[in-house]
Structure 1
Amino acid sequence: MIDYVRMINPATSLATEDEATTAARAGALGAFLMAVLGFVASVAMLLDVDGYLAKMRHVMTAMYGEKSELVQMSLSTLTPQLVYISAAWGVALSLGIVILGVVQWKKPNLVIPLVLRLFTAYGLLMLLLGLMRANPAAAAMEIPLWRNALAVLIDLACLVLFWTGFRGGKRLNDLRRAAAT
């Protein structure tokens, strides 16, 4: 446990292959954390299908007005099946991220943490921009502050883990190349 805590530190030097492997596996921990967040969000949608649909209807009318033809057409597509499909898609993405985490754990590399870090950074940036710009859609969803704060904290933790995983994977590549020559 102490070894992982030390290796998760993004400023730790990675001198040996074991240290680099442990650091690269931090990317897998970040993937597992990201997958749990996605899975919990999907389950939360399923637990309150009607509430989720009501919020989506409220967002549509807040953004475009009640009389808009676009809103009337969009409202007709807001059915429970849409929520079920969205939740299924969230679970499928979470399973895909778990698979990437397992691959990163068994065969540490630098590509998986890099890609997941970019996705996490994009998601965090969009969340923060939505909050700062007073986006009418975000305001209409009435997401509690604690949920946004928790999402930001988890995203920041994932970014640190992915950065450490990337560093470890890069160091592993460098050490293996040096050993091969």
Structure 2
Amino acid sequence: MTDWIRASNPTAPITNEAEATAAARASALAIFLGVLWGIVGIVYLMTAGQAVMEAAVAQAAADAPEMAGLTGMMTQLALGMSVAVVVIQLVLGLVQWTRPNIVIPIIFAILVGFELIKGLMGLLMAGQGSLPEMTATPAWQLWGGLTILVVQLIMHIAGIRGARQLDRLRFEAANG
């Protein structure tokens, strides 16, 4: 366990190929953490979240009658998109685990950074918009998501460092 904690540390020195591979795989672990959190979100959306979403669409339909027929479709679309994102993350996490590279951690670091900024801006903007109170994300999901995003960002940074060092060590071995 301490080896994975050390590998996930973006400031830990990387001196050999095993350490570089472990650090690059930290990004895969971050992706798998995102998959687990995505599954939690899907379960919530299939249970209590579905009722909340349908109530929000129904409230919007009161103001715009053309929205009335979209209630079930919107919920199913959100559920389908959530499942698709989790599956894509799972595939990319497996690719990063089996063939560590620098591209996947960079992409996910950017996406995670964007989501973190978006979540923090949502916190700052809370209560300022005209969104009904029932469409608000539950506090456990909001704070849990932000915490996981911070952990993921740290692990993706470690993954970038590990993949870069792994490439450097392999290049030196091939040309050395």
TM-score exceeds 0.5 = yes
User: What's the CA shift for 1:77?
Assistant: 4.2
Corresponding position of 2:114: 122
Q: How many residues align?
A: 172
The answer for the alignment partner of 1:47 in structure 2 is 47
- 1:72 and 2:65 matched: yes
How well do the aligned residues superpose, as a CA RMSD in angstroms?
1.9
Q: Shift of the alpha carbon at 1:43?
A: 2.1
Q: Which amino acid is the alignment partner of residue 15 of structure 1?
A: T
Structure 1: any 5+ residue segments left out of the alignment? Answer: none
TM superposition shift of 1:45: 1.1
Compared CA separation, residues 56 and 163, structure 1 to 2 (3 A):
farther
Which of 141, 154, 157 is the matching residue for 1:160?
Answer: 154
CA distance in 2, matches of 1:138, 1:124: 21
Partner of 1:17: 17
CA contact (8 A) 2:17 2:166 kept: yes
What is the CA deviation profile of residues 129-176 of structure 1, one whole-angstrom value per residue up to 9, with x for unaligned ones?
A: 122123526663232333211111010011111111111111111111
Secondary structure, counterpart of 1:9 in structure 2: coil
**Partner Cα distance (2:131, 2:25) in 1:** 35
Provide the secondary structure at the position in 2 that maps to 1:79.
Answer: helix
8 A contact 1:46–1:84 mirrored in 2: no
Q: List 4+ stretches of structure 1 deviating above 6 A.
A: none
- Measured in 2, the distance between the counterparts of 1:137 and 1:99 equals 38
Contact 2:56 2:132 in 1 (8 A): no
Shift of residue 50 of structure 1? 2.6
1:131 to 123, 145, 148: 123
Query: What TM-score results when the alignment is normalised by the length of structure 1?
Result: 0.86
Letter in 2 for 1:80: G
Q: How does 1:89-128 map to 2 (within 5 A)?
A: 89-128=81-120
Whole-angstrom CA distance in 1 between matches of 2:69 and 2:111:
28
Question: Aligned pair in 2 of structure 1 residues 101, 89: CA closer, same or farther (>3 Å)?
Answer: same
Deviates more, 1:84-93 or 1:167-176: 84-93
Provide the residue aligned with 1:149 in structure 2: 143
Aligned counterpart, 1:171: 165
- Secondary structure, counterpart of 2:137 in structure 1: coil
Per the normalisation by structure 2, the TM-score is 0.88
1:43–1:87 Cα contact (<8 Å) kept: no
Alpha-carbon distance change, 15 to 137 in structure 1, aligned in 2, over 3 angstroms: farther
- Report deviation, 1:3: 1.1
